[in-house]
Amino acid sequence: MKILRSLALVLLPLIALALGWQLGASYQMKHLTSEQQRIAELFSVSSGSGQTVKADPEEEVDITLLWSVWRLLSKHYLEPEKLETKSMVYGAVGGLVSAIGDPYTLFMTPQDTKIFESALSGTLEGIGAQLDLKDGHVQVVAPIKGSPAEKAGLQPKDLIVSVDGKSIEGMALENVVGMIRGPKGTSVTLEIVRGSKPGSMKITVERDAIHIPSVESKVIATATGSIGYVALNQFGDDSVAELKKAMTSFPKEGLKGIVLDLRFNGGGYLDGAVDLVSMFLESGDVVTVEHRENEPEIHRVTGSSILPKMPLVVLINGGSASASEIAAGALQDHKRATIIGVQSFGKGTVQEIIELPGGASLRVTVAHWLTPAGQDLGKKGVTPDIVVDRTVEQYQQGYDPQLLAAEAWLTEHRDVSGGKKTGTGSVK
């Protein structure tokens, strides 16, 4: 087995892309010595007292149960042609991993692994909607701008109850995502419940190739000067380079500040979060990664700041997770930025991606992280300095009170409730 990457998995089962898989904040493991050592570690766990407790499955349970069931199926199942060996092996492994009960630790088939990698590159095929598992229901967080989901009329907070006529009640989010995604040109019918409206409705969406731009930027003109706005949608392969290019393109004269929009950013590579913070900080810690064993690893800024003094506002919401929470949390702890919006998701664990034979992979939780001030992001996420909500109706109408609050803070150095800037507050 070969170590591929470690991920502080974006927020799933929170935000998932119905067009692909879950994204995450990548974390580079540095303490592995050899393939043999890694395999040995996979079969032992620490008791926390310095002793090693063996976790060999053959010592804890009679593994012949699995082979007994396999042989019974082979002998008795009515339609033996459906007993496809590879699918059964994947199903058995997937069940083993899911039995742990950690939504971020899961087995990915070769197809899932390819889709996952494509997601981080920003190109997928599907309907283009961010999904959330909330109170046991699969909910639409938001359709991606210009996506098939948006064109078909899918709206934020729609609850999905069935996919192509099959109920999804009780299903894991990743399984629902697997049912919704698919190749360009094919269609999927979603049965949804919308708000307080009685009954349900069906929406058919034709899948397409979805490109998720990592960065979107513009200059906002105000009466007292201009504001640089940049939305970072994910921490992917080229996100940092694109972000730096956008930052340096803003006018140097008359710029009142920068709005960094991390709303609905489900994460990506941890290195990207470190590099982002490094653009605005000259020195300091970004995040501490704590493993089950070994000393905590502290990631610090790289010393490549480009706008260390420019006033900065960061926008977050419940769709901001993982790497975006690391960035927002670090900038907040260092008092480098004012955070505006609503509570972030709270994705505070690190997942390691391990390649398996045949192109499959295992994603396993190996650590959690803390902000520079020691806050565990997995417990409550990032709390904004100024709380400003955005309703579904406002989203549908294109009205953005969170961005307006950021503009007001930068141009008038006060919150939109009328009081002088104090660092914390609430805007209704």
The answer to whether residue 333 is catalytic is yes
Domain 215-348+365-413 CATH (choose: 3.40.710.10, 3.90.226.10, 3.40.50.2300, 3.40.190.10): 3.90.226.10
What DSSP string describes 244-299? HHHHHHS-SSSEEEEEEE-TT---B-HHHHHHHHHHH-SS-EEEEEEESSS--EEE
- Rounded to whole angstroms, the Cα distance separating 80 from 11 reads 39
Is residue 92 scored above 50 in pLDDT?
yes
pLDDT in tens, 362-388: 999 998 889 999 999 988 899 999 999
Is residue 133 scored above 80 in pLDDT?
no
Topology (CATH level 3) of domain 123-211 = Pdz3 Domain (2.30.42)
| Active-site pick, 6, 217, 278, 322 | 322
- Rounded to whole angstroms, the Cα distance separating 4 from 22 reads 16
Average pLDDT rounded to a whole number, residues 110-129? 76
Is residue 30 scored above 70 in pLDDT?
no
Q: Which of 157, 162, 169, 159 is nearest to 189 (CA)?
A: 162
Question: What pLDDT, on a 0 to 100 scale, did the predictor assign at position 175?
Answer: 79
| Active-site pick, 333, 361, 385, 415 | 333
Q: Residue 33 — very low, low, confident or very high, per pLDDT cuts 50/70/90?
A: very low
Is residue 108 scored above 60 in pLDDT?
yes
Terminal CA-to-CA distance of the chain, rounded, Å? 52
Average pLDDT rounded to a whole number, residues 238-261? 90
Please provide residue 5's backbone torsions phi and psi, each rounded to the nearest 5 degrees: -160, 160
Domain boundaries, the chain: 2-112, 123-211, 215-348+365-413
Is residue 206 scored above 50 in pLDDT?
yes
Question: What pLDDT, on a 0 to 100 scale, did the predictor assign at position 191?
Answer: 97
| Active-site pick, 347, 361, 385, 415 | 347
pLDDT, greater one: 112 or 61: 112
Please check whether residue 232 is in contact with residue 324, taking contact to mean a CB–CB distance below 8 angstroms: yes
Answer yes or no: pTM beyond 0.75. Answer: no
- List, in sequence order, every residue forming a beta bridge with 225; answer none if it has no partner: 222
The answer to whether residue 322 is catalytic is yes
